[in-house]
Amino acid sequence: MFTTLRIATRLLCPMRNYRVGVRDIKKGMIVNTRNRLWAISDFALHTQGRQGSHIKVELVPFGGGGGGGVSGGGKVVARMAPDDYFDALEIKTRACQFLYESEGLLHFLDLDSMDEISCSADLLEGGERVVKMLNDSMDISIQCVDDETAEVVSVKLPLTSVYRVAIAPPAASIITNEGKGTRFKHATLENGVNVVVPEFVMQGESIVVSLADFKYRERVKASQQ
């Protein structure tokens, strides 16, 4: 039997922050500012004569919002005084497996505690478009706030996963200069997602697909299928 954790999503619960001075920040630190979570991607001290010094901090969105995780999209640069501070959060990563989707919620099994964790699909790295790519027992990294709320802020998928080809025409349908003469065609996976594959990939075979861009990476050997 699983213990089901009722975990809020989208920052609905108050989270325990700790104050950190700008002089003490580090790359990768997660901060709560401008009504959302950000990851510090870079920072540098600038000195301008009589105007004194300031610190430029690069922030990238963290968790949810059509991307999850740390993404270069939506980067902002904050100009901070040396005595300014951020509200930072401790983030814990939990190794999980995907269980199922129900009524807009994704359910995962924490492999350490055997608790069931639920969160909304918009916290997936890559956004809701990757929901179809979730496989039973897929290994997932869930990042949550390390306090009593245990609030999920990001769900990170593996870089690639294996899928079976449901439909694949026998002949190539795409002319391209990629692949040193390899001809390509459209194929449909068992989950209904369309991908472009080399001409030699046939119906019923399994292929490795990148979850970042839904692109074909390689064919799985028959002995491994």
Q: The domain at 18-89 falls in which architecture?
A: Roll (2.30)
Given 3.30.420.280, 2.40.50.140, 3.40.50.10800, 3.20.20.70, which CATH number is that of 3-7+91-156? 2.40.50.140
C-alpha distances in angstroms, 85 versus 17, 30, 32, 115? 12, 13, 11, 36
Q: Where are the domains of the chain?
A: 3-7+91-156, 18-89, 160-224
- Residue-by-residue pLDDT tens, the chain, 225 positions: 444 443 433 333 455 678 899 989 888 888 988 888 888 889 998 887 677 788 999 998 886 544 445 544 578 899 999 899 999 888 889 999 999 999 889 999 999 999 999 988 888 888 888 999 999 889 999 988 876 677 888 899 999 999 999 999 887 766 555 556 678 999 999 999 999 999 999 999 999 999 999 999 999 987 666
State in words which class domain 160-224 has.
mainly beta
Q: DSSP secondary-structure letter at 154? A: E
Buried (b) or exposed (e) across 8-23, using 16+ Cβ within 10 A? ebbbeeebebeebebe
Comparing 3-7+91-156 with 18-89, is the CATH topology the same? no
Residue pair 145/90 in contact (Cβ under 8 Å)? The answer is yes
208 alpha-carbon distance from chain centroid: 18
Q: Which of 201, 77, 73, 91 is nearest to 144 (CA)?
A: 91
pTM, to two decimals: 0.69
Buried (b) or exposed (e) across 71-102, using 16+ Cβ within 10 A? beeeeeebebeeeeebebbebeebebebbeee
Phi, then psi, of 122 in degrees rounded to 5: -75, -5
